[in-house]
Amino acid sequence: MANRKPHILFLCTGNSCRSQMAEGFANFLGSECLEAHSAGLEAHGKNPNAVAIMREAGVDISGQESKLVTPELVNWADMVVTVCGHADEHCPVLPATVPKQHWPIPDPAKARGTADEIEATFRAARDDIQNRVRQLIATLTRDRTES
């Protein structure tokens, strides 16, 4: 890994909202210092609200695929970040050298209410994910400059 960017795998249950947003922000904000993919324990397809809310932030995730986690993706990863409790509890067995972080982000797809209330829930998740991705990038950048 010393000669290449670290590979970050974001996992959630359906790879439709939170992990998609995390992948989008990581590749948009951290393209100089990391490479990111996302996957799910299931593949539910991208949530259109997630695509729209990310577009508001200037990040286009419409071309990302909703995909199942595979042994190849797990082996590709230098770090795994779970973004929901279900994925954290049912995370595939990781190699001992692969660190895992857990970000407990509420599922915006479960939001109920008016269109405005649902959008606000998606924005809150998006903003939380963006802040966490920025912190991850800062940590990775600091670690790379110190080593």
What are 60-115's pLDDT values in tens digits?
A: 999 999 999 999 999 999 999 999 887 777 777 777 888 999 999 999 999 999 99
Instruction: Please say if 84 is a catalytic residue.
Output: yes
Using alpha carbons, select from 98, 104, 47 the residue that is nearest to residue 73: 98
Instruction: Please say if 91 is a catalytic residue.
Output: yes
Residue type, 120: A
Residue spans of beta strands (DSSP E) within the chain: 7-12, 35-40, 79-82, 100-102
Q: Read off the pTM.
A: 0.92
Give me the pLDDT at residue 2, please: 55
84, 105, 109, 133: the catalytic one is: 84
Dist CA 130 CA 59 (whole Å): 11
Q: Is the pLDDT of residue 146 over 70?
A: no
43, 91, 94, 111: the catalytic one is: 91
Identify the band that residue 141 occupies on the pLDDT scale cut at 50, 70 and 90: confident
Q: Three-state DSSP class for 6?
A: coil
Q: Give me 45's structure tokens.
A: 């397809």
Give the domains, in start order, of the chain with CATH numbers: 7-140 (3.40.50.2300)
Instruction: Please say if 17 is a catalytic residue.
Output: no
H helices of 57-114, where? 71-76, 85-89
H helices of the chain, where? 18-29, 48-56, 71-76, 85-89, 115-146
Give me the pLDDT at residue 57, please: 97
Give me the pLDDT at residue 147, please: 60
Dist CA 41 CA 58 (whole Å): 28
9, 11, 12, 140: the catalytic one is: 12
- For 4-41, the pLDDT digits (tens) are 899 999 999 999 999 999 999 999 999 999 999 999 99
DSSP annotation of 111 reads -
